[in-house]
Structure 1
Amino acid sequence: MCVPRFDRYLLSQLMTLFAFFALVLVAIYWINSAVRLFDQLISDNQSSWVFLEYTALTLPNVIRNTLPMSVFAAAVYVTNRLSGDSELVVMQATGFSPWRLARPALIFGLITTMMMMVMTNYLVPASQQQIQRRNHEIAQNVTARLLSEGSFLHPSAGVTFYIRAIDEDGTLHDVFLSDRRTPLEPQTYTAARAYIINANDDPDGVPEPKMVMVDGLAQDFHSETGKLFTTHFQDFSYDIGGLVNASDYLGVSLRTAPTWQMMTQPEAISKVTGDQIGRIVQEAHGRVTQSLLCIVAALIGFSALQIGGFSRFGVWKQIIFAILLLVIVKFAEGVVTGPVRKNAVLWPLLYLPVVLGLVMSVLLLWWAARPRRPRRRARMAEVAA
């Protein structure tokens, strides 16, 4: 009963601290991304409900980025605390080897890996797909992007739009539109009233938003000749569909594609997204390797603190050493990414950082389990002689 009880005790400590560090890191990353998202949505005149929806949809991706760090921090903190309280020393005195003590850390790594698998292969693609769908709706919602009275708007580079007042029936009063997308021939439109309608002029049958200006003035300036041409009009139709920059919202991304489909049908995904096959294969296997890195982070964080003897100054050297090993693993991950993107056949290289991390953990546990007491006794005997 003592053995499984110790495993449950150590595993509960690891999971508790993991939840704490995950909560802190997710809060930091989430608030940082929420501030940027708030500025973007507010500038587009979106409601607070849209902001809350977007922040909720970005949460799975934030968790995916912070989960391995939380696993490593929990493993290091719990091992350091148990070592400082001499709990690990007591267990070693009862016959527990470093290999045996690492079993709860391995189980902890497997649990977090399963969580990461669900996150990277299901929740993140689903949330990104929903974000893409909502972005498309926002891009098509011209009234949300343009209809804001009493303020100068810049819906696109080189375009300035102003409305003095908007009636309840949608009538726009005192409209000003400056189009400087062609620097040599800027155009300026002013109108007493204007209306936004959806005209079905597209051959594909897709309605395109247009603004009909009434009782206004059009000014065209030609920089080469230095002449200004003015035209008074009773009504004038202006295509405002081009003012909404939908390039930031539309398009299929690899983050929304299913992992199994990217692995089995990379050519089909390449036709839809326009990405190279190597990039698709790297993204698919990268989701798996990122999950497996949770096992590596847990084992490195635990095994690195098992080496070395007792010191009154603590185990800060071992902690720095563990961080250095994790940096080496992440560096190896970055090194193998480039060749796989160029040649999809080299996808097994993506698992090299995981293998490297596991080998490091095995070597650390072997180093911690090697017999050292006979050597110390021999040295003490030599000194006494």
Structure 2
Amino acid sequence: MKQIERYIFRRMATLTFWSLIAATTLVLTTQVLLRIDILTTTGQALSAFLKLAGTLVPSVMVIVVPFALLIGVGQVLSGMNADSELVVMEAAGTSPRTVLKPVLLLSVLLSLFVLLVSNFVEPWANRKLYSVMASAQSDLFSVAVRSGTFQRIEDGLYVQINEKKPGGELAGIFLSDTRTEGRELVYFAQRGSVQKIGDITLLYMTDGEVQQRDAGSDQISIVSFSSYALDMAAFLPASGGGVRRPNEQPTSYLLDPPADDYFVVNANHIMKSEIVRRFSTWLYPLVFGLIAFTFLGKAHSNRQEQVQNVLLVTGITLGLRGLGFYTGDSAGRLPAAEITSYAAPLAAIAIFGLLAATGRTLTIPKRWAQLNAFLLDWIQRRLGLQNPSASEGRP
């Protein structure tokens, strides 16, 4: 790379890094707060809190990386335009590819980073996350024994235990699960115990029954059991090795799952959605980088036009990413959504990549710029504000 290209790349990489740190911290804080009630209720130590925050970092970064790149690239290009650096480069006959190379290199590196994190690091972190949450949820049984009242594990999921006997045995277990719309589950057992098998925490119950009520037909089915096991992390009927969610499984497992996997049998659409998410999310850093360069990679003499280009870039990228979230969630149920999950970012890469390769940049139409200027002047007049340009005698 040339010296000017290294200069641009260094500025973009630095600003992208700090934007990533700031955005990850902000989103991570909200995600931890959503789960902090379980840790505080059970009196978990600070180490559990830090472990919870650490396991959430990969999932947050996969979402935040494209936006951090957009901030880094957009801010640097806007700054170079405001400081007339882009004007000087164009006047000196510098090719637009001089600016494109750092943008493209940084975008490709971050796309590969997202691909590796979402397929290798994130599944491992999710397994650790559910282990921490399961440990906290199992401690709620001790709280329920001490308080003698119902304890809320999460919305729609409550537990009560009458007595804790010597040896850790629980007596009088009652669980109410109304999290699934249209279905109510009630578990009752005479005795039970909480046991750990590896990273899986299980609630073993004996001499009880399960009552299921269908809200639509108002029918109730009752099944008695001599022994029953529940996974404290997922609260799904657990087999010998437990039930793991698709976002905990390695990519190789999702591509070739066993026929008796719980989600393959009961919720195969979740498996498909997770595969689509892992193989489509990594495209967005490249999409965002190309879009930012296409609109902001060329000098603009009108500062107001530059601001409007930034707003246009923000609108396009948010629209594409929002579409990606929607189609990713619907991919397991709708074949069209699965196709769109890949087609939308790939089409954006092809279109904006062609524009970037041919040295063309886009800007807002002049009519839009004139309309925006008219609206801003009208708002200023209504608010009694004075146009600084007019007051200084500039056109």
Task: Please state which band the TM-score falls in when normalised by the shorter chain.
Answer: 0.5 to 0.7
Which residue number in structure 1 is paired with residue 293 of structure 2? 302
Deviates more, 1:272-281 or 1:52-61: 272-281
Question: Where in structure 2 are the equivalents of 1:97-116 lying within 5 Å?
Answer: 97-116=95-114
> Does structure 1 conserve the Cα–Cα contact (< 8 Å) formed by 2:331 and 2:337?
yes
**TM-score, structure 2 as length reference:** 0.65
Q: How far does residue 344 in structure 1 lie from its aligned partner after superposition?
A: 5.9
Q: How far does residue 337 in structure 1 lie from its aligned partner after superposition?
A: 4.0
Question: Which of residues 252, 260, 267 is equivalent to 2:252?
Answer: 260
Which residue number in structure 1 is paired with residue 310 of structure 2? 319
The structure that has the greater radius of gyration is 1
Q: How far does residue 353 in structure 1 lie from its aligned partner after superposition?
A: 1.6
> Does structure 1 conserve the Cα–Cα contact (< 8 Å) formed by 2:38 and 2:136?
no
Once residues 281 and 197 of structure 1 are traced to their aligned partners in structure 2, the CA distance between those partners, rounded to angstroms, is: 36
> Does structure 1 conserve the Cα–Cα contact (< 8 Å) formed by 2:162 and 2:173?
no
Cα deviation, 1:296-334, whole Å, max 9, x if unaligned, reads 111112221136731143611110111122133225435
Which residue number in structure 1 is paired with residue 343 of structure 2? 352
Question: Which of residues 111, 115, 118 is equivalent to 1:117?
Answer: 115
Q: How far does residue 44 in structure 1 lie from its aligned partner after superposition?
A: 3.1
Amino acid at match of 1:316: V
Q: How far does residue 270 in structure 1 lie from its aligned partner after superposition?
A: 5.3
Question: Which of residues 67, 80, 83 is equivalent to 1:82?
Answer: 80
**TM-score, structure 1 as length reference:** 0.67
Call closer, same or farther: CA 1:39–1:155 in 2, change over 3 Å.
closer
Call closer, same or farther: CA 1:160–1:137 in 2, change over 3 Å.
closer
Q: How far does residue 367 in structure 1 lie from its aligned partner after superposition?
A: 8.3
Aligned pairs, how many? 315
Call closer, same or farther: CA 1:268–1:347 in 2, change over 3 Å.
farther
Unaligned segments of structure 1, at least 5 residues = 172-176, 182-195, 201-205, 211-238, 371-385
Which residue number in structure 2 is paired with residue 154 of structure 1? 151
Amino acid at match of 1:52: L
Which residue number in structure 2 is paired with residue 133 of structure 1? 131
Whether 1:50 and 2:41 are equivalent positions in the alignment is: no
Q: How far does residue 247 in structure 1 lie from its aligned partner after superposition?
A: 4.6
Question: Which of residues 257, 281, 285 is equivalent to 1:290?
Answer: 281
Unaligned segments of structure 2, at least 5 residues = 177-190, 196-201, 207-225, 362-395
Which residue number in structure 1 is paired with residue 382 of structure 2? none
Call closer, same or farther: CA 1:29–1:312 in 2, change over 3 Å.
closer
> Does structure 2 conserve the Cα–Cα contact (< 8 Å) formed by 1:307 and 1:367?
no
Q: How far does residue 262 in structure 1 lie from its aligned partner after superposition?
A: 2.1
Considering only aligned residues, what root-mean-square deviation do their CA atoms show, in Å?
Answer: 4.3
Aligned identity (percent) is 16
Show structure 1 runs of 4+ deviating over 6 A: 177-181, 241-245
Question: Where in structure 2 are the equivalents of 1:213-252 lying within 5 Å?
Answer: 247-248=234-235, 251-252=243-244
Call closer, same or farther: CA 1:104–1:207 in 2, change over 3 Å.
closer
Which secondary structure state, in structure 1, belongs to the residue aligned with residue 302 of structure 2?
A: coil
> Does structure 2 conserve the Cα–Cα contact (< 8 Å) formed by 1:72 and 1:301?
yes
Q: How far does residue 76 in structure 1 lie from its aligned partner after superposition?
A: 0.6
Which secondary structure state, in structure 2, belongs to the residue aligned with residue 39 of structure 1?
A: helix
